[in-house]
Chain A
Amino acid sequence: MAELRCTAVAKSYGARAVLQEVDLVVPEGTLTAILGASGSGKTTLLRLIIGFIAPDRGTIAIDGSVVSAADGLHVAPDKRAVGYVAQEGALFPHLTVAENVAFGLPRGERRSGARTSEALELVGLGSDYAARRPQELSGGEQRRVGLARALAPKPRVVLLDEPFSGLDAHLRAETRAAVTAALAAEGATAVLVTHDQAEALSMGREVAVLRSGRLAQTATPTVLYRAPVDLDVARFVGDAVVVRGTARSGVVECALGRLSTASVDVAGTVEVMIRPEQIQLVPTTGAGDAVPADVIGHEYYGPDVVVQLRLRDDARVPVSARTFDVATPDAGAVVGVVVSGPVAVYPLQGSSSAA
């Protein structure tokens, strides 16, 4: 497998810019998840990398050699050795599972069947699947065969377009595990396109957030979740509680108390972003720096519960905390609020950000 590098890629349809200045590097043997809402340009980026369309500006290189450039250089999709797993698998309905998987192999290997069963094994499907028809497979099995088909010819890069969409939660987790294992076993360089935050964060070595045609942030899942580049990204990758505060030398004062932040060089009025699971609820009695609050409602998810709170001192700020089922206080109870771990801060527009 090989490194994929997109440099300053741009694509417009008429007057509408779909992608602008996209720089993306997927290191060899890693998976980068591209996370974006629908209409953000995810699919266009994928189709540019495969070569179904050509960029207006910028270059795309695989393994150091340019496959698409704005000067007209364009390697055809079939000459790129880029594996592609389409949404819902796109299995050829007139071929059996084995014939599907063998489709991209050279004639000789197609007949021997060794690589075919190897690829099927890779995605956790036994040889008893070989003779089946795509119509006889479940949704999850279809995605797995789609991946086996893409991996069989040993592509340089694998692209997965929303590979788990439309699967139920259980099947989704199972298929995701099978796909992750198969990609790891092949040492695949992969790009996964998704609009599902959990999927992107759990599968990507890096996650690139695509927002109206531009990459807003490319980072490891932890950095992206804990220190998003702005509030928009923060809200896009997870739930966020945002309060006004004043920052100085790595400490921020706000309605939720004195909190620590990693952004030591930010000073002045800021917006403070706290993840709901950072907010812990304690009994009001005896907790020194706990901020008193009323429980006003619940959203019950099973293992965890989101508790809506109204601060005693500042009723205007909506605050919610994520707690475990067993530790949930009833509505109407009075609790103490404690924030654990560093929070992210963003200078308010118009105020100074220099320390």
Chain B
Amino acid sequence: MVSVARSRRHRDGATTGLFAIGALVAILVLLPIAITVFQALQGGTSAISDALRASSSRRLLLNTVLVPLVATPICAVIGVGGAWFVERTRLPARRLWALLLVAPLTVPLFVTSYAWATLGVSLQGFVGAAGIIAFSYYPIVFLLVAVSLRGLDPALEDSARSLGLNPRQVFFRVILPQLRPALLGGLLLVALDALVEFDAFVALRFQTFSLDIYAQYRLGFSTSGAAALSFFSIVLCVVFLFGEAWLRGDANYTRVSHGARRSAVRYELGKWTLPVVACLAGVVAIGVGIPVGMLIRWFTESSSAALSTASGNLQYLWPASRTTILLGLASALVALVMALPVAVLAVRYGGRFSKLVERSTYLSFALPDLVAAIALSYGAVHYARFLYGSFALIVFAEAILFIPFAVVAMRATLGQIEPALEDSARALGAAPLAAFRRVTLPLARPGAVAAIVLVFAFSLGDLATAQVLLPLNLYTLGSEFQANSGTVAFASAAPFAAVLIVLSMAAAWVLMSSFGTVRAFTDDERG
């Protein structure tokens, strides 16, 4: 009864304002899709039907769907397994493992894919594409499941044990079902990301819609053809969104009681310690070892001639780093500010509208980055000339491209904050915004840090947006890496990759230290 009362609180002016802002955020996120559809229709329906009927389309569709289909189960196993070993066992050096397991997420995907591509021909094509997605994106599942694990009531496990279940049965019959919302949420993010990935697939020569769109754009500069092809990704994205909602069903495993106020016991690994450590080491070797190892090889095995051309590029290193960091931080802050009202709506105001707003932010994954960037640039040229070629436009683009990560992080952290705290603040005379500023926001800091770091890390790995929207006088680490990686002298790209990897490791470290302070939360996935 209490929860009913809370979900239908009295709607005052502040609430109406919040709903309006939530709707505005959703509209901003959907803007590129609207422009793309408009562009596609401008080319006439024939361009669309040509694109849809092209003989290659069926193969592309298969390729595009196969990657998430193969990669998500791998992500589920590594993510859930890793989270369980780190959170619930006496694994040696747990904090280090947590950091290493998260690190692949922050390494730019295009750097990883170049590393894989140079490793061998067998890794090109489908194997490489699915592998790269699986071993770079499983940390999303790992993070969400780990937080969810901390929130479980240990008393449930104790009860299950007393009912005669052994630890393995407890895991499959009690723990895993409760992790379902977090697991499905993580897999959805992985699948959607895989759907529109293409920077990474270029090096691996793997054909998906995104790559075809890229080709249309590069070769023919056919924006309407590219836009038409995007219909596939929009439809697939919506299918995935509905699929996840359907699979999740009514799963809403909020704690029914406060439960035991203690943390769960950690299991001794005993003779399993060595095999487990070996498996985790293998995962980390693939996810972090390959890109870092290749980077070292590029440096050490390059000819002196290549190194001397590389040194000529070093003058660009500092400006590129500065632009990259500025762009990443600015995008992250904008994404955070936009994600806040969406997350508050989702956590505090259940209901169809909140759900709609939250789900529409996921549609930012419906378009490949390149198409979204083209759409925004088209929109700016035609309707907001002053934004065209500006730093603000690319910041906005990156922010809406990666806003789902900020929403997920803020939602998780806001869900931990008891509504009674905000209620008490209101009763003590704090107006809605003051209560939010004085109570909610300070308590939500770990989530805000996580949101900023995630968006920052993903902006490091985003080449396409920079290609279209970066102001002409600026260059980023990614754009320099790309410009130099095409040349025979791979070493000249290496310094840029090195700085990118250093930045991404720093991001992973900040992410994990804020993550360490995340308490168990009671209300992770409401609806």
Contacts and interface: CB of A to CB of B under 8 A. Distances in A.
Given A13-B4, A94-B442, A78 B430 contact: yes
Interface string A242-254: 0000000000000
B439 interface: yes
Nearest to A159: B427
Contacts of A209: none
Interface stretch (A23-31, A45-53, A338-346): A45-53
Contacts of A94: 439, 442-443
Given A52-B9, A90-B421, A78 B1 contact: no
A56 to B, nearest CB: 12
B424 A78 contact: no
Nearest to A155: B427
Nearest to B2: A43
Contacts of A87: 420
Contact of B443 (A52, A88, A93, A146): A93
Contacts of A104: 427-430
Contact of A53 (B9, B427, B429, B443): B9
For the complex of A and B, the 5 pairs showing the least CB-CB separation, nearest first, are A104-B428, A84-B427, A90-B420, A86-B420, A77-B426
Interface in A40-72: 41, 43-44, 47, 50-54
A84 B427 CA distance: 6
B424 A86 contact: yes
Contacts of A18: 1
A262 interface: no
A81 B430 CA distance: 10
A93 B417 CA distance: 10
Given A13-B8, A53-B9, A90-B418, A83 B438 contact: no
Interface string A67-103: 0000000101111111110111010111000000001
Interface string B31-44: 00000000000000
Contact of B10 (A39, A52, A79, A159): A52
Interface string A175-191: 00000000000000000
A245 to B, nearest CB: 39
Q: What DSSP secondary structure best describes chain A's contact surface?
A: loop
A74 B11 CA distance: 10
A59 to B, nearest CB: 15
8 contacts: A13-B8, A39-B1, A47-B5, A52-B10, A76-B432, A83-B427, A84-B428, A159-B427
Interface residues on B, range: 20 to 34
Contacts of A47: 5
B431 interface: yes
A46 B214 CA distance: 60
A50 B1 contact: no
A149 B9 CA distance: 23
A150 interface: yes
A153 interface: yes
Interface in B134-167: none
A93 B416 CA distance: 12
B1 A150 contact: no
Contact of B429 (A38, A81, A86, A88): A81
Given A47-B5, A54-B10, A81-B429, 19 more contacts: A13-B8, A39-B1, A44-B5, A50-B426, A51-B10, A52-B10, A52-B426, A76-B431, A79-B429, A84-B424, A84-B427, A90-B420, A90-B421, A92-B424, A92-B443, A94-B439, A103-B425, A104-B429, A150-B424
Contacts of B435: 78
Contacts of B442: 94
A74 B13 CA distance: 11
Interface residues on A, range: 35 or more
B423 interface: yes
Nearest to A38: B1
Given A86-B420, A92-B421, A103-B438, A53 B430 contact: no
B255 to A, nearest CB: 14
A93 B517 CA distance: 13
B416 to A, nearest CB: 10
Interface string A210-223: 00000000000000
Contact of B424 (A53, A81, A90): A90
Contacts of B250: none
Contacts of A79: 429
B12 interface: yes
Contacts of B425: 92, 103
A348 B361 CA distance: 64
A197 B431 CA distance: 36
Interface in A127-170: 146, 149-150, 153, 159
Nearest to A18: B1
B426 A78 contact: yes
Given A52-B10, A76-B12, A103-B438, A150 B428 contact: yes
A82 B427 contact: yes
Interface of B: 1-2, 4-6, 8-10, 12, 258, 418, 420-421, 423-432, 434-435, 438-439, 442-443
A53 B10 contact: yes
Given A86-B420, A90-B418, A149-B424, A78 B429 contact: yes
Interface of A: 13, 18, 38-39, 41, 43-44, 47, 50-54, 74, 76-84, 86-88, 90, 92-94, 103-104, 146, 149-150, 153, 159
A18 B2 CA distance: 11
Contacts of B439: 92, 94
A250 B420 CA distance: 51
A92 B420 CA distance: 10
Given A53-B9, A54-B10, A90 B429 contact: no
A88 B434 CA distance: 23
A53 B7 CA distance: 10
Nearest to A81: B429
A38 B2 CA distance: 10
A341 B439 CA distance: 55
B57 to A, nearest CB: 48
A13 B435 CA distance: 27
A87 B419 CA distance: 11
B438 A77 contact: no
Contacts of B8: 13, 53
B12 A50 contact: no
Given A44-B1, A90-B421, A93-B443, A150 B427 contact: yes
Of the listed residues B1, B429, B438, the one surrounded by the most CB atoms of chain A closer than 10 A to its CB is B429
B9 A153 contact: no
Contacts of A39: 1
Of the listed residues B4, B427, B442, the one surrounded by the most CB atoms of chain A closer than 10 A to its CB is B427
Contacts of B431: 76, 78
A153 B423 contact: no
Contact of B423 (A41, A54, A84, A146): A84
Contacts of B423: 50, 52, 77, 84, 86, 90
A93 B424 CA distance: 13
Contacts of B9: 52-53
A39 B10 CA distance: 20
Contacts of A159: 427
A149 B428 contact: yes
A13 B1 CA distance: 10
A145 B13 CA distance: 32
B7 to A, nearest CB: 9
A47 to B, nearest CB: 5
Contacts of B426: 50, 52, 76-78
A149 B424 CA distance: 9
A77 B10 CA distance: 10
A273 B443 CA distance: 54
Contacts of A77: 423, 426-427
Contacts of A13: 4-5, 8
